[in-house]
Amino acid sequence: MKLLAKTILSLFFSLVAMAAVVTSDQALEAATTGNLVILKKYKKAKGDFNIQDKHGLTPLMKAVANGQKKAVDYILTQSPNLELKNENNDTALAMALGNDQDQIAVNLINAGAKTDILGGENKNTMTFIAASTNATKTLELLTKKTPEQINAKNKNGDTPLHEAARYGSEKTLQILLKAGAAKDAKNNEGKMPLDIAISIQNKAAANLLK
């Protein structure tokens, strides 16, 4: 009788333990919502932080895309592969910049994310994307870390300064100019950054580029 009770009790605790196991889908959802409790349980169960869903998104990418900074910082302590790409061929760093997550992008770079990758169909550098989204913290870091990207051209012949003339804030333009961005660089249409600023009536940018 005692043996039977012991067996039943053992089975009960085994079922409880199984119920407590965090699945990969739950880990991905936890990264999306920033649920550190679930992520820590996933780690305790020796879960793989490099898992990818059907769109190629990892827990890190999910956390990045949704601005879950604490979740990102925690996942980074688990030494994830920072160079995995989603179905759009974007890494976590490219996603951070594309989703206006400036500080997270800085954290990813400091954690070792490669900055020499290209993003988007136009083959834009990370400096170009940072200029496009006014990620000024990342831009300041990149101009020091990868100065060769300051005047690098994409498939359309545009440099980060061309992009800043279109969408950049004054601070973005100032960072690029201070770092040595060429005002006279021409894209495939023969246009300099100033030409673009004038064409879209961006007076602040035009004044800085004259």
Q: Are residues 205 and 125 in the same domain?
A: yes
Q: Are residues 162 and 205 in the same domain?
A: yes
Q: Are 177 and 169 in contact (CB under 8 A)?
A: no
Whole-number Cα distances in Å, 80 to 51, 54, 60, 76, 123: 10, 18, 8, 6, 25
For 73, the domain range is 21-114
Type and span of the H or E element at 124:
strand 124-125
188: how many CB neighbours lie within 10 A of its CB? 11
Q: Are residues 148 and 160 in the same domain?
A: yes
- Number of structural domains (the chain) is 2
Domain-embedded: residue 132: yes
Domain-embedded: residue 11: no
Q: Are residues 192 and 172 in the same domain?
A: yes
Which residue pairs, CB below 8 angstroms and at least 24 apart, start in 152-156?
Answer: 152/125, 152/127, 152/128, 153/185, 153/187, 154/122, 154/123, 154/124, 154/125, 154/128, 155/121, 155/122, 155/123, 156/122, 156/187, 156/188
Q: Which of 50, 84, 114 is the last residue of a domain?
A: 114
Q: Are residues 122 and 108 in the same domain?
A: no
Between vectors from CA 111 to CA 107 and to CA 114, what angle results, nearest 5°? 100
Q: Which of 86, 114, 142 is the last residue of a domain?
A: 114
CATH of the domain at 106: 1.25.40.20
Q: Look at residues 106, 170, 158, 110 and name the one whose alpha carbon lies nearest to residue 134.
A: 170
Here the tokens at position 113 are: 């994310």
Domain-embedded: residue 41: yes
> What pairing do the DSSP bridges indicate for beta strands 118-119 and 124-125?
antiparallel
Q: Whole-angstrom Cα distance, residue 204 to residue 210?
A: 10
Q: Are residues 104 and 88 in the same domain?
A: yes
pLDDT tens series, the chain, 210 aa: 554 544 554 444 333 344 467 899 999 999 999 999 999 999 999 999 999 999 999 999 999 999 999 999 999 999 999 999 999 989 999 999 999 999 999 999 999 999 998 877 778 999 999 999 999 999 999 999 999 999 999 999 999 999 999 998 999 999 999 999 999 999 999 999 999 999 999 999 999 998
Q: Are residues 74 and 150 in the same domain?
A: no
pLDDT for residue 20: 60
Q: Are 135 and 97 in contact (CB under 8 A)?
A: yes
141: how many CB neighbours lie within 10 A of its CB? 19
Type and span of the H or E element at 125:
strand 124-125
Type and span of the H or E element at 70:
helix 69-76
Q: Are residues 79 and 124 in the same domain?
A: no
Domain-embedded: residue 179: yes
